[in-house]
């Protein structure tokens, strides 16, 4: 996850005239209006954005082959992806029924669905911390997985993990694990919430690149990724106000280790397609100081570039946005409270557009609104990086 690896006029001109950092916007918006295509038509090689270090493995369970492997054995700090191993370790010797006590179900379900850190802290401290990693690496024949470095045994998110080992974990879950274990873990991953337990927007990567069915376990870590990027703005602000006390920064003297503990990390892992056809593992590190919106955009572009058999791309066009705290609303007006706010500068999928209330950012005005199917709401086109008020390659919404 993130917050602690311890125990874890013309709207198109608005962004150019109001933002001094035009270069940063160009990074976010370059090629944003590329039409979505079927997964089987995706490029055969991963497209890794500049400044991103990535480990990628995509495994087609139907053919038993990898369709993508880029630095697949490279070790990354796991962040919250390690919660898969915490869950499996707890369930390992609970056969034959694999029943889960109510108290543990109340911890495990939010840990898998919403990446709850308190639950991870509990299992790490209760069941041996680094010993959990050693047990699971042995049982699952994980070759690149290792306990946190000496001196940082309390930081579960510093566990070393690779993309190919992540694929092995999912292959065990889907093909070898007892049915109750498989159904419990995968069932919860299919119910991944957009807002994590700390109000972090965790539907990046796989969750944005493909239509359901998918199942995901995400991971994030880094001081430049603020919490409270999801949910109603009031709750997000409250979360942001308390993050300082909950964030465990990695010591600088560990930056040169084989597993980088300091660069912002964003990982997307899981399955895509009917019958969990394809396993996808994308582990990424970003340049120091990278904003969450840019990292979200970069891992999204990388994941969309992959050859993922059985995956279905959502209909719509991808566009960059500008400004902070852009509100997503249930209808094209400001009359009702916002549903959530976008991460600053993030790229979004636009499904259609319609006229609504005029929004003004002097000296510009715009009456067009973009519908974002992945959020289930609208944002004003004035915040979309486009040369026109009305997006030229996006259809009108039905009933417009």
Cα 334 to Cα 145, 284, 339, 355, 383: the distances in Å are 49, 37, 11, 13, 14
pLDDT tens for the chain, residues 1 to 400: 443 333 333 333 333 333 333 333 333 333 333 333 333 334 457 999 999 999 999 999 999 999 999 999 999 999 999 999 999 999 999 999 999 999 999 999 999 999 999 999 999 999 999 999 999 999 999 999 999 999 999 999 999 999 999 999 999 999 999 999 999 999 999 999 999 998 889 999 999 999 999 999 999 998 777 766 787 776 444 343 332 223 344 444 443 357 999 999 999 999 999 999 999 999 999 999 999 999 999 999 999 999 999 999 999 999 999 998 899 999 999 998 999 999 889 999 999 999 999 999 998 899 999 999 999 999 999 999 988 999 999 999 997 6
- CB-based contact 268:304 (threshold 8 Å): no
323 CB-contact burial (10 Å; exposed 0-12 / middle 13-18 / buried 19+): middle
Nearest to 348 by CA among 40, 16, 36, 20: 36
Beta strands in 122-195 (DSSP E): 160-161
Q: Which residues pair with 365 in a beta bridge?
A: 360
Letter string b/e over residues 222-259, b meaning 16 or more CB atoms within 10 A of that residue's CB: bbebbbbbbbebeebeebeeebeeebbebeeebeebeb
The angle subtended at Cα 198 by Cα 193 and Cα 199, nearest 5°, is: 60
State how far Cα 48 lies from the chain centre: 16
- CB-based contact 307:44 (threshold 8 Å): yes
């Amino acid at each position: 996850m993130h917050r602690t690896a311890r125990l874890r006029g013309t709207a198109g001109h608005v962004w150019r005239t109001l933002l001094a950092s035009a270069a940063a916007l160009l990074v976010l918006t370059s090629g944003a209006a590329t039409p979505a295509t079927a997964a089987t038509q995706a490029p055969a090689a991963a497209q890794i954005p500049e400044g991103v270090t990535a480990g990628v493995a995509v495994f087609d369970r139907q053919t038993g082959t990898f369709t993508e492997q880029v630095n697949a054995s490279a070790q990354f700090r796991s962040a919250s992806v390690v919660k898969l191993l915490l869950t499996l370790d707890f369930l390992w010797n609970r056969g034959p029924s694999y029943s889960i006590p109510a108290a543990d179900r109340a911890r495990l379900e939010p840990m898998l669905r919403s990446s709850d850190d308190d639950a991870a802290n509990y299992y790490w401290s209760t069941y041996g911390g680094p010993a959990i990693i050693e047990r699971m690496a042995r049982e699952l024949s994980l070759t690149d997985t290792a306990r946190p470095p000496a001196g940082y045994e309390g930081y579960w998110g510093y566990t070393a993990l690779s993309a190919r080992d992540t694929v092995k974990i999912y292959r065990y879950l889907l093909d070898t694990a007892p049915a109750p274990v498989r159904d419990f873990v995968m069932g919860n991953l299919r119910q991944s919430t957009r807002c994590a337990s700390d109000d972090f927007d965790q539907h990046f990567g796989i969750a944005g690149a493909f239509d359901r069915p998918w199942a995901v376990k995400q991971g994030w870590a880094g001081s430049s990724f603020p919490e409270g990027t999801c949910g109603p703005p009031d709750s997000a602000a409250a979360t942001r106000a308390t993050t300082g006390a909950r964030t465990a920064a990695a010591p600088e003297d560990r930056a040169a280790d084989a597993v980088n503990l300091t660069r912002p990390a964003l990982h997307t892992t899981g399955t895509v397609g009917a019958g969990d056809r394809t396993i996808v593992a994308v582990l990424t590190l970003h340049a120091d100081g990278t904003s969450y919106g840019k990292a979200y955009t970069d891992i999204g572009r990388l994941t969309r570039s992959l050859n993922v058999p059985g995956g279905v791309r959502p209909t719509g066009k991808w566009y960059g946005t500008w400004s902070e705290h852009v509100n997503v609303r249930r209808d094209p007006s400001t009359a009702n409270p916002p549903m959530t706010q976008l991460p600053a500068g993030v790229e979004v999928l636009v499904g259609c557009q319609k006229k609504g209330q005029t929004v003004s950012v002097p000296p510009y005005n715009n009456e067009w609104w973009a519908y974002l199917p992945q959020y289930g709401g609208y944002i004003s086109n004035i915040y979309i990086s486009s040369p026109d008020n009305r997006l030229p390659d996006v259809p009108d919404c039905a009933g417009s």
